[in-house]
Amino acid sequence: MAKKVVPEEARRRRRPTRHGVVVTQQLIVETALRMLHEHGRDGLTVRRLGLALGADPSTLYRYFRGIDDLTLAIADELIARAMHGRRSTGQWRTDLREIGLRIHAAYLAHPEAAVLTASRVSGRANEIAGDETVLGILRSTGLPDADVVRIYQAFVDQALAFSALDAASLALPEEARAADERVWRATYAELPARTHPNIAALAPLLVARMNDSAYPTALEMLLDSAEASIGRARRDTDPDHA
Amino acid sequence: MAKKVVPEEARRRRRPTRHGVVVTQQLIVETALRMLHEHGRDGLTVRRLGLALGADPSTLYRYFRGIDDLTLAIADELIARAMHGRRSTGQWRTDLREIGLRIHAAYLAHPEAAVLTASRVSGRANEIAGDETVLGILRSTGLPDADVVRIYQAFVDQALAFSALDAASLALPEEARAADERVWRATYAELPARTHPNIAALAPLLVARMNDSAYPTALEMLLDSAEASIGRARRDTDPDHA
DNA sequence: GAGTAACGTCAACGGCGTTGGCGTAAGGTG
DNA sequence: CACCTTACGCCAACGCCGTTGACGTTACTC
């Protein structure tokens, strides 16, 4: 059977399935995203995908080498959605902030897919374009190359890491998520001050924040540190700047 | 069959299996960690676990309610190992740095297990103790409560987020990991300066760093920002501090 | 209109997590 | 030491899963 998948642009025939659907890679990716939403993180199976497409499960293997290949295609789609429509303001801090928050938002819009893909390297066009953009923004600040690369890596990995972590919480099965939240709330609200004085003292603040992502805070702290580095770099090369 | 699992401390009989092994929860957890190491992230299966234990696969269900219950037990074990043996120096920045790096190291020591567990909330003793410790360190700096909670959340979530992200890369099946690395190296080494000037200019630096975790950098940047906040707080309450 | 091969379908394989039933032997009790 | 209870290990089975080889139809090319 399919030793090799025919590339999308080389396809000549589009025979409809017995249910009348004309299959494409894009249709499969979109259907997979919808199934992940509807059935949870373990809800994407080849058999169910075939059912949702109105096609035999083995049809998938005419379009992707396997589940892993489909996963990478989904990752590419998420990155594309994250970067779509972005505009530059020319201010490095504003632009980096927006890119970080856009990545985070795009992944959280599809948490089950984000869990599957956040740690993968697609190496495709959208990913590379994003890296080029971030590097360009950082270079425009006048930072030395070594600092540019250091901060770039921290920025990108921080965005992906928080996206994956926050997505994982959202993607838990509802019962598990509710149980986790119950445990968390009970834990922090009821620990006695005698054994856990710090948690007890801050419990109201902790509980109030527990459903908010820490990413905006962590991102701003990273940008604080970058700004300090940029200030140092400018003083080094331009002493009049004071 | 087993509607309910007998708690470990209530067990009365310890009948050896036909291969002479006496099963315990701890033995199962340790065996599961070993299997994850040996067979990769998908290598932990009930049937293989039974084989490794010298017991029938269904024996697992005498000790755990299912695979998910075993997963939480593994999570608990990882947290215990992360915090074991830590000592305080009394210097907030040194202590927070060590805690962050310890969590990261403990998870990366068992990347396949880390992937399964990093996003779960155990609510058990070791997790709570760690939170209490971090809050105590931040409160000792004199920061206002709101800043303590804000920075605490960013610190803890960043440690877990990077641990999960870095673990996921390490835990990829060898072929996928090699493919990802090949893609990455080829991408950054061979992009023409005409279309991607920033990547082309920094390619050697990028490739040199690509196998290193960005977590130490991101952690230090977070601590930079925290230190600036602490300095501001002290100037506000103690103007002589200058 | 004939030939070719792309592609949808079918059936099957070996795995998986999980469960109900059963026998056995370990432990408490006298 | 003998009995009884029942925890616990084992077996067989169920319904899933991803993947593959063979096959026939049908959309294209010429």
| B3 CB closer than 7 A to any strand C atom | yes
Between A123, A165, A218, which is nearest B187 by CB? A123
List CB contacts of A222: < 8 A, sequence separation 6 or more.
A151, A154, A155, A158, B218, B221, B222, B225
Nearest alpha carbon to residue A182 among B69, B131, B123, B156 = B123
Tokens 């971090």, residue located: B134
Count chain A–chain B contacts defined by CB atoms under 8 A: 164
pLDDT, one tens digit per residue, over B25-68 is 889 999 999 999 999 888 899 999 999 998 889 999 988 998 98
B66 touches strand C (CB under 7 A): yes
Which residues fall within 8 angstroms of residue B53, CB to CB, at 6 or more apart?
B17, B21, B23, B27, B28, B31, B59
Burial of B228 (0-12, 13-18, 19+ CB in 10 A): middle
Average pLDDT over residues B181-202: 87
Q: Which protein residue's Cα is closest to nucleotide C24 at C1'?
A: B15
State which nucleotides on strand D lie below 7 Å from a protein beta carbon. Answer: 7-12, 16-23, 25-29
Angle between helices A46-53 and A25-39 (to 10 degrees): 110
Task: Establish if B42 touches chain A: CB-CB under 8 angstroms.
Answer: no
In terms of CATH architecture, what is A86-171+217-241? Orthogonal Bundle (1.10)
Average pLDDT of the residues of chain A: 88
Residue A180 has pLDDT above 90, yes or no: no
Contacts of B41 in chain A (CB under 8 A): none
Contacts of A89 (CB under 8 A, 6+ apart): A95, A98
Shortest distance between the Cα of A51 and any Cα of chain B, in A, equals 26
Model confidence at A207, pLDDT cuts 50, 70, 90, reads confident
Tell me the average pLDDT across B199-228.
Answer: 94
Q: What architecture does CATH give domain B75-235?
A: Orthogonal Bundle (1.10)
Q: Mean pLDDT lowest for which of A46-50, A161-165, A173-177, B53-57?
A: A173-177
State pLDDT tens for residues A211-236: 899 999 999 999 999 999 999 988 87
CA B1 to C1' C20, in angstroms, rounded, equals 6
**pLDDT grade for B69, boundaries at 50, 70 and 90:** confident
Rounded to a whole number of angstroms, the distance from the CA of B169 to the nearest CA of chain A is 6
Task: Report percent pLDDT > 90 for chain A.
Answer: 57
A170 inside 8 A of chain B by CB: no
Q: Where are the domains of chain B?
A: 8-65, 75-235
- Interfacial B residues in 194-233 facing A (CB < 8 Å): 196-199, 201-202, 205-206, 209, 213-215, 217-218, 220-222, 224-226, 228
- What CATH number was assigned to the domain covering residues A8-65? 1.10.10.60
Produce one character per residue of A158-192: b if its CB has 16 or more CB atoms within 10 Å, e if not.
Answer: bbbbbbbbbbbbbbbeeeeeeebeeebbebbeebe
Q: According to the per-residue pLDDT averaged within each range, which of A94-103, A206-215, B115-124 is highest?
A: A94-103
